[in-house]
Amino acid sequence: MIKVKLLVVEDELVIGMSIQMSLERLGYAVVGIVSSGEEAVEKALELQPDLILMDIILSGTMDGIEAAREIRKQVDIPIIYLTANADSPTVERARDTVPYGYLNKPINERDLMSNIDSAIHKHHLEKRLRDREERYRLLIESLNDILISTDENGIVTYVSPQIKAITGYTETEIVGKNFAEFVHPDDSAKTAELIEKGKGGGSRMGEFRAIGSTGDLIWFHVSGSPAFVNGRFNGIRVILRDITKQKRAEEEARHKNEELLAANEELQSIIEELESTNAEFEAQNRELLRTRDELATDDAMLRSIFKVAPVGIGTERNRAIVWSNSMLHEITGYAEEELYGQSARMLYLSDEDYEELARQMVEQIYKTGMGTVETRWKRKDGTVIDILLKAMLMDPDKMGADGIFMALDITEKKRAGEALRRSEEKYRHLAENISDNLWVVDLKTLKLEYSSPYGKPILGYDTLAIQGLPIRNIIAPEHLEMVKDILAEELDRDGQPGIDPNRTRTLELKQVHKNGSTIWTETTVKFLRDETGKPVSVIGVAHEITGRKQFETELVASEEKYRELAEHMSDYLWVLDIHALKYTYVSPSCKDLIGYETEESLMLAASDVLTPDSLNKANRFFAGEFSREGREGVDPDRPMILELELMHKDGHIVWTEMTAKFLRDKSGAITGILGVSRDITRRKRTELALAASEEKYRLMSESISDLILIWDIMTERFSYVSPVSWEMTGYLPEELLSLPLNEILTPESHDVVIGVMGEEIALDSRPGINPARSRVFTVELKRKDGSTLWIEITARFLRNESGNPAGVLGVARDISERKHAEHVMILQRDLAQALGAISVLEDALALCIQTGIRATGMDSGSVHLVDRLTGGLDLASHIGLGEAFIKKSSHYDEQSPNARLVMKGEPVYSTYEEIKKFSDKSLTKEGLRAIAIIPVMHNNRAIACLGIASHVIDNIPPMARNTLENIAAHIGDIIMRIEMQDSLRRSEEKFRLMIENSPFPIAIIENSTGAITYTNKSLENILGYNTANIPTMRDWLKAAYPDPAYRKKIKESWEQRVRDAVTAGTAVEPQEADVRCLDGTLRRIEFHMVFIGDLLFFMMNDLTEKKINQEMMIQTEKMTSLGGLAAGMAHEINNPLGIILQGAQGALSRLSSAVKKNKDAAAKMGLDFDRVLEFLQERDIVEYLEGIRDAGNRAAKIVSNMLQFSRRSETSIAPVDINLLIDKTIEIASNDYDLKKKYNFRKIQIIREYNLKLKKVPCSETGIQQVILNLLKNAAQAMGNVKSDKFKPVITIRTGKRGRSAVIEVTDNGPGIDSNVQRHIFEPFYTTKGMGGGTGLGLSVSHYIIDKNHNGSITVESKPGKGATFIISLPLTRTV
Amino acid sequence: MSGMRVIIIDDEPMIIKMLKGYLEDQGFDVASAGTGREGLELISRERFDAAIVDLGLADMEGSNVVIRAKTIQPGIACFIHTGSVDYIPSDELVSLGVDADSVIRKPQPDMHEISRAIVKKVGMKGRGVTS
């Protein structure tokens, strides 16, 4: 196992080292200890530790929190803070850096380990969750897209599974290979550049071609962004979208039919056109294209326009019919596709007929450029019809060129013509010279008087039969009036001057044949006169022109029709005179196109119609074309195509495509331009829109896989549903058309749709709102089978002519997968939140199972916990499982396959097929069809296992697996957390009880507020106080220390101790104090204080009884060892002292003149008392006596002082600066009378060798002072015994620390102490000083003070002649 | 002060001599005894106004001498003469009128204190008796 690497950031080297030792003992690897924030950042980046232990307070400018923030900015390393005293703003600040824990100093190993382990675990989980989240996010963003990650060299490290469907490659075929291998060679430079640029950061987009597994070309839209790990380029992450379809559609659309795009501008039409059959579309297209080609050929401008001409028209190429118009279809009964590509032979009765026709045609065309032949065709239905066929070549100069033919059905006419021809033949035969009919009409009766025999073939009447026939019988009614008018007119003017009486008029007359058919004649008439010259009759010579006339009439009719068509077509035809630069012809559609009436537009110059840019463009274009004229290879009839902007009369711009051709005179010189202009504004707009955004293309291509719906606002039903509805909804499109919205949406989603619709309609009337806006929303669809599906709808209004919303066009997309991912994420988030609030394991597990079920669509589940002792599995929670199964699965022992499976630590997903093969039949008995077993791991050990199963579904969707593994991780967390909580709670309970029942009084105080939050039983029992009667620290101080001076002293003492402890980093020195209890009694209490954060813990030790005992003991000991002896000694000394003093006083008293007895006694001896006194004074005797008295008094004082040593010694122990104390003692010693006088103390050189770092030592100040003073006296005395002038007495005093004790050494350079004496030196009354030299008590008392009162020791080291050293050792910490 | 009879019981002859000399100089009528027994004999034979008894006599405890003396002569003002610094008269002695004022400490820096204490004690008593 790899050791967890830790970085320790701690500016106290000692603490750092101790943490390191602890960590290493616990099995972690400490990769570094640093002491400043800056160093921490540097090392964290360099060493990449798994975890950082960070002291918050660091010396230097950057503290631990700053450093953590800096580190986390760059790398993802969990951080645990070390803190001694974290206030809440600090914690708040630290929280921003997402710490994985806090460790309070001093740090114990158990906390250290659990904190580190949980941080690593937590971090691991978080990282895993983050990674998954990331993947989900990308999934959501891309859906059908391919995700590829590469390393820094472009080697693919991950590719999402969609790759297979799109390229045919499996993931394994791609991973490990260079991304560039799959790029089309033409695009590899482009993609390489993209990757190179991508390294600079930011995302890149582009398009490239890739080669699929089958070698086909795939177009991808790529958006890539570089990945950086710890600031280093780590490859790219690419999202590929297959746009092949779109590209293809684009290409197709562009090449095949730009018009389609123009028409596609509106989505509705896109859809409609997608719906319309391709064939129809192509046919249209072909026609349009052909129309255009044909328009370009001027010899048949009108002729070629149209399929709907009343004559059958067709074109032939290489003897195959390549185009035919509808009239031809009507005539022949064949549809266009039946004719297309076929030989015209199919229309003829026999090969002979066809060959004959062809021969004649070719002959005629060769001669005249055009052939006219009557022939017969066989219709599709078998009937035979007569056809007048005219044919010509498209290009008269080339015999092999395409031919064009026109067929006229002349069956009817033929029948009539047949008779005519027969009679004609007859007349021709009869009168070769007289081919005309001569007739005479009487002017009065208007009846025929005569008709020559030739009238018969024309009118069908015999010569005789016609006589007396009124002219109305032979003249068509519409001409009869005309004829009558002409006659009247001629009669009227007849005889007038200048009027030729033999004048003639020629009329084209429409006459009526005997059989009722119409005959056209050209008749020349003149008057016949009587003798007086008066017109009496009219003579006319008529020859039939029916054939010509009929043809003429038909041509006129068809011409009219063509023109009409030409003029009604939307394209704008015009002819421009090149010399006048004026339009000589414009078709009426110019009104539609540019708003001018035909007449108006004829007045316009080109510059009036074209925008300046387009005028320029046209001028340049035609100049170019002119210059090309006459060059080799330049077709004079070339079509010229140019896009031009026209100005509409109302000022707006109209985009047109002009197809033009030069018109030429016979010499070939250009006389004008024939142009056809077509409105391409819509197309242009579409092109612009397309160019601006490919969005619509995508919409278009994506639309094909998405469900397209059109909702009719009026009928509240769908009016269109695209075929994919079945896959998505389970309904056929027809079914959906009749369903109301609430049938196919969940109620909530129905409300959503109604809401959106309402909002949008309300919005629609507002100014500035884009009418083409679309709105995206998600709804839950009710499928026909009852299941639901989340879809995302992109919708927009479809509008009627007035622009008001009439319908809604919606594109619906299945987003259930995305929804599922979202759903799962929400579930997991909810789970994590809910788990945080749960502290009962069973509840938490049930929640986990529930979440697992909900997230995966399964229906049952369980959690087993691993028994730590046996390794068996125990059922802890279950949902949706049968009784029998629960019983069976309540326990699996450690040898069972189930337990062993779990111990392996790998999730197992079993399908129904696999379950059936299990030896454990309880699963199949329960009816489980799919099962997931996910071990819950902690520290590489299975601690539980999550089972999720279904009674319905046969396998577990892969989507669900991540979710389940995630939930398993949650379970691991919750188990560990709850276990930790339980053990915490147990230990908390334990400690609480311990505190509660502790024999020592305990109180807890909030330092910041001074509130006493807790007091235990003992405190109340012993002192009588509780949180009710001393709610705050102030209340306590007042109650416990009523004397303000004492209170002040205690407070100050505490403050000093706390300061000392903080500076030294040690525990606070305990303090003794006399506390007044609630009942007024005083008790001696020793206080121990610990602070934990803001809380102060006070533990009290009642020393009252102990003190009493101790004092009693001391007294007893005094009595036995010293007390009694001192008293005895005092008695012994005081008696002789009494004699001395009383003697001296008595003597002085008896020398006093105030005492009468003295004078009497002197007188009795004959002495003058005054003289005696004089004598005594003269000899200083009085002075001597006074000296004795004073010395006696002094001795008495010494005794009394000495007795005080044995009195109750002041033993209050307090921290004392030993060095200072020694200085003070030396001061006292130098002022000491005895030392000064007897031992010449001032002459002794005192050398102080103090350890200045020595901290205060807890001791009794007076006690230690007494001991040192005694040692100084002994030393002085001992050195006083050396009788040598050269001797220089020196006392050296050293202080220092030895282990856990303070040491004071007092060394003299005196005669030393022999070993025999050393043995007894601390025994009471042992003295070497002889009578009057010492009491033998000094060292024994010293020993008593050091040994008994201070738990210390006093020893002596000496060699005779080499001085002596007394060593006092005092413990630095006091133990009670 | 004259005529006031004082007995000194002490086993230190020099003390007796000097105290006796002093008190006599002050006008007291002073008798003395070297042992407790001798002192008590004298007390049982003669009347004394006051007795100064050394606490640590060779033959018996001074306090016992006082108690006996009080039984022989209840009117006698007894003083305990002692070198001990912290001697406190027992309850029994106090009940016999031998209180803290009746303790004469050795050595006595000012002898007049002794005569003043005797006069005070005996005087009080005398007034009490006479009144």
Residue A1127 contacts B, CB cutoff 8 Å: yes
Query: Is 90 exceeded by the pLDDT of residue B67?
Result: yes
- Name residue, tokens 């789970």: A831
Long-range contacts of A524-533 (CB under 8 A, 24+ apart): A526/A502, A527/A443, A527/A490, A527/A494, A527/A501, A528/A440, A529/A501, A533/A495, A533/A501
Provide the shortest C-alpha distance from residue A1143 to chain B (in Å): 6
CA nearest neighbour of A967 among A845, A1068, A1102:
A845
Residue B91 contacts A, CB cutoff 8 Å: no
Report the alpha-carbon distance of residue A1050 to residue A214 in Å, rounded.
Answer: 94
The encoded tokens of residue A13 equal 């080297």
Residue B107 contacts A, CB cutoff 8 Å: yes
The encoded tokens of residue A1348 equal 């008994």
Which ipTM score applies to this complex?
A: 0.72
- The b/e string for B18-53 (b: 16+ C-beta within 10 A; e otherwise) is bbbbbbebbebebbbbbbbeebbebbeeeebbbbbb
Over residues A191-222, the pLDDT tens digits come to 777 667 666 655 566 677 887 777 777 877 67
CA nearest neighbour of A648 among A583, A598, A592, A606:
A592
Provide the shortest C-alpha distance from residue B83 to chain A (in Å): 4
The reported pLDDT for the residue numbered A861 is 92
Over residues A778-810, the pLDDT tens digits come to 888 888 877 778 888 878 787 776 777 877 877
Query: Cβ-count burial of A880 within 10 angstroms (0-12 exposed, 13-18 middle, 19+ buried)?
Result: middle
Over residues A704-738, the pLDDT tens digits come to 567 777 788 878 888 777 777 777 788 887 888 88
The encoded tokens of residue A747 equal 């109620």
Provide the shortest C-alpha distance from residue B30 to chain A (in Å): 15
Cβ neighbour number for residue A70 with a 10 Å cutoff: 19
For the domain made up of A568-687, the CATH class stated in words is: alpha beta
Which chain B residues contact residue A1200 at CB under 8 A?
Answer: 85
Report the alpha-carbon distance of residue A424 to residue A436 in Å, rounded.
Answer: 11
Query: Is 70 exceeded by the pLDDT of residue A1116?
Result: no
Alpha helices in A145-296 (DSSP H): 162-167, 171-174, 185-198, 244-256, 258-263, 267-275, 278-295
- A568-687 shares the fold of A5-130: no
The reported pLDDT for the residue numbered A249 is 54
Residue A1133 contacts B, CB cutoff 8 Å: yes
Residue of A1115, A1137, A1145 to mutate, testing the B interface (most B Cβ within 10 Å of its Cβ): A1145
Least confident of A304-318, A929-943, A1018-1032: A304-318
- Name residue, tokens 């200048």: A498
Over residues A1020-1033, the pLDDT tens digits come to 988 999 989 999 99
Alpha helices in chain B (DSSP H): 13-25, 36-45, 62-72, 91-95, 112-130
Residue A1059 parent element (H or E) = helix A1044-1064
Q: Give the confidence band of A273 by pLDDT, cuts at 50, 70, 90.
A: very low
Query: Is 50 exceeded by the pLDDT of residue A279?
Result: no
CA nearest neighbour of A358 among A348, B69, A532, A368:
A348
For the domain made up of A144-242, the CATH class stated in words is: alpha beta
Give A878 or A588, the one with higher predicted confidence: A878
> Which residues does A785 contact at the CB level (< 8 Å), separation at least 6?
A730
The reported pLDDT for the residue numbered A1209 is 47
Give A682 or A63, the one with higher predicted confidence: A63
Query: Cβ-count burial of A765 within 10 angstroms (0-12 exposed, 13-18 middle, 19+ buried)?
Result: exposed
CA A1127 to chain centre: 95
CA distances from A438 to A521, A544, A965, A1186 (A): 12, 12, 117, 213
Provide the shortest C-alpha distance from residue B8 to chain A (in Å): 14
Provide the shortest C-alpha distance from residue A1056 to chain B (in Å): 40
Cβ neighbour number for residue A594 with a 10 Å cutoff: 24
Domain range annotation of chain B? 5-130
Report CB contact under 8 Å: A1138, B86: no
Report the alpha-carbon distance of residue A1068 to residue A1090 in Å, rounded.
Answer: 7
Q: Under CATH, which number does the domain A307-409 receive?
A: 3.30.450.20
Residue B111 contacts A, CB cutoff 8 Å: yes
The reported pLDDT for the residue numbered A1198 is 66
Residue A1199 contacts B, CB cutoff 8 Å: yes
Residue B15 contacts A, CB cutoff 8 Å: yes
Residue of A nearest to B13 (CA): A1139
H helices then E strands: how many in chain A? 52, 48
CA atoms within 13 A on the CB side of A374: 10
Residue of B nearest to A1189 (CA): B109
DSSP string, A174-216: HTTSBGGGGB-HHHHHHHHHHHHHHTTSS-EEEEEEEE-TTS-
For the domain made up of B5-130, the CATH class stated in words is: alpha beta
Provide the shortest C-alpha distance from residue A1230 to chain B (in Å): 28
Report CB contact under 8 Å: B109, A1131: no
Query: Is 70 exceeded by the pLDDT of residue A264?
Result: no
Provide the shortest C-alpha distance from residue A1164 to chain B (in Å): 16
**Sheet containing strand A1301-1308, strands side by side:** A1245-1249, A1290-1298, A1301-1308, A1364-1371, A1353-1358
Residue A1291 parent element (H or E) = strand A1290-1298
Nearest to B25 among A1127, A1142, A1149 (CB): A1149
Report CB contact under 8 Å: A1134, B107: yes
Provide the shortest C-alpha distance from residue A1171 to chain B (in Å): 21
First to last CA, chain A: 48
Q: Which amino acid is at A911?
A: T
CA B23 to chain centre: 12
Residue B12 contacts A, CB cutoff 8 Å: yes
First to last CA, chain B: 19
Report CB contact under 8 Å: B22, A1145: yes
Which chain A residues contact residue B110 at CB under 8 A?
Answer: 1145
Q: Which amino acid is at A1247?
A: I
Q: Is there a contact between A1354 and A1342 (Cβ–Cβ < 8 Å)? A: yes
Chain B (66-85) residues lying within 8 Å, Cβ to Cβ, of chain A: 82-85
**Secondary structure letter of residue A1069 according to DSSP:** P
CA nearest neighbour of B77 among B122, B19, B32:
B122
Domain range annotation of chain A? 5-130, 144-242, 307-409, 430-554, 568-687, 706-814, 820-963, 997-1102, 1210-1376
Report CB contact under 8 Å: A1203, B110: no
Instruction: Give mean pLDDT, residues A1267-1276.
Output: 87
Query: Is 90 exceeded by the pLDDT of residue A987?
Result: no
E-only strand ranges, A1058-1192: 1071-1076, 1082-1092, 1095-1102
Long-range contacts of A1128-1132 (CB under 8 A, 24+ apart): A1129/A1199, A1129/A1202, A1129/A1335, A1130/A1199, A1130/A1200, A1130/A1202, A1130/A1203, A1130/B83, A1130/B84, A1130/B85, A1131/B55, A1131/B56, A1131/B82, A1131/B83, A1131/B84, A1132/B83
Query: Is 60 exceeded by the pLDDT of residue B129?
Result: no
Which chain A residues contact residue B10 at CB under 8 A?
Answer: none
The reported pLDDT for the residue numbered A629 is 79
Residue of B nearest to A1201 (CA): B85
Q: Is there a contact between A68 and A54 (Cβ–Cβ < 8 Å)? A: yes
- Name residue, tokens 């003579």: A539
On average, the pLDDT of chain A sits at 76
The reported pLDDT for the residue numbered B77 is 92
CATH fold of A1210-1376 reads Heat Shock Protein 90 (3.30.565)
- The angle at the Cα of A299, spanning A293 to A303, to the nearest 5 degrees, equals 75
Query: Is 70 exceeded by the pLDDT of residue A257?
Result: no
Query: Is 70 exceeded by the pLDDT of residue A1131?
Result: no
Least confident of A287-301, A314-328, A1209-1223: A287-301
Q: Give the percent of chain A with pLDDT over 70.
A: 77
Report CB contact under 8 Å: B84, A1131: yes
Q: Under CATH, which number does the domain A430-554 receive?
A: 3.30.450.20
CB pairs under 8 A between A and B: 78
The reported pLDDT for the residue numbered A640 is 77
The encoded tokens of residue A596 equal 């001018």
The encoded tokens of residue A229 equal 């790990």
Over residues A37-84, the pLDDT tens digits come to 888 888 888 888 888 988 888 877 888 888 888 888 888 888 888 876
Most confident listed range (A11-15, A778-782, A1324-1328): A778-782
Residue of A nearest to B109 (CA): A1193
Provide the shortest C-alpha distance from residue A1129 to chain B (in Å): 9
Report CB contact under 8 Å: B22, A1146: yes
Q: Under CATH, which number does the domain A997-1102 receive?
A: 3.30.450.20
Report the alpha-carbon distance of residue A561 to residue A352 in Å, rounded.
Answer: 36
CATH fold of A5-130 reads Rossmann fold (3.40.50)
Report CB contact under 8 Å: B18, A1143: yes
Query: Is 60 exceeded by the pLDDT of residue A399?
Result: no
Provide the shortest C-alpha distance from residue B119 to chain A (in Å): 18
For domain A820-963, the question of CATH label 3.30.450.40 is answered with yes
Q: What is the largest CA-CA distance in chain B?
A: 39
> Which residues does A730 contact at the CB level (< 8 Å), separation at least 6?
A783, A784, A785
The encoded tokens of residue A758 equal 């309402």
On average, the pLDDT of chain B sits at 85
Residue A1138 contacts B, CB cutoff 8 Å: yes
Least confident of A458-467, A1066-1075, A1121-1130: A1121-1130
Which chain B residues contact residue A1191 at CB under 8 A?
Answer: none
Which chain A residues contact residue B14 at CB under 8 A?
Answer: 1139, 1143
Report CB contact under 8 Å: B15, A1135: yes
Provide the shortest C-alpha distance from residue B18 to chain A (in Å): 6
The reported pLDDT for the residue numbered A328 is 81
Chain B (44-63) residues lying within 8 Å, Cβ to Cβ, of chain A: 55-56
Instruction: Give mean pLDDT, residues A436-461.
Output: 75
Residue A569 contacts B, CB cutoff 8 Å: no
Nearest to A1141 among B24, B55, B109 (CB): B109
Instruction: Give mean pLDDT, residues A660-685.
Output: 72
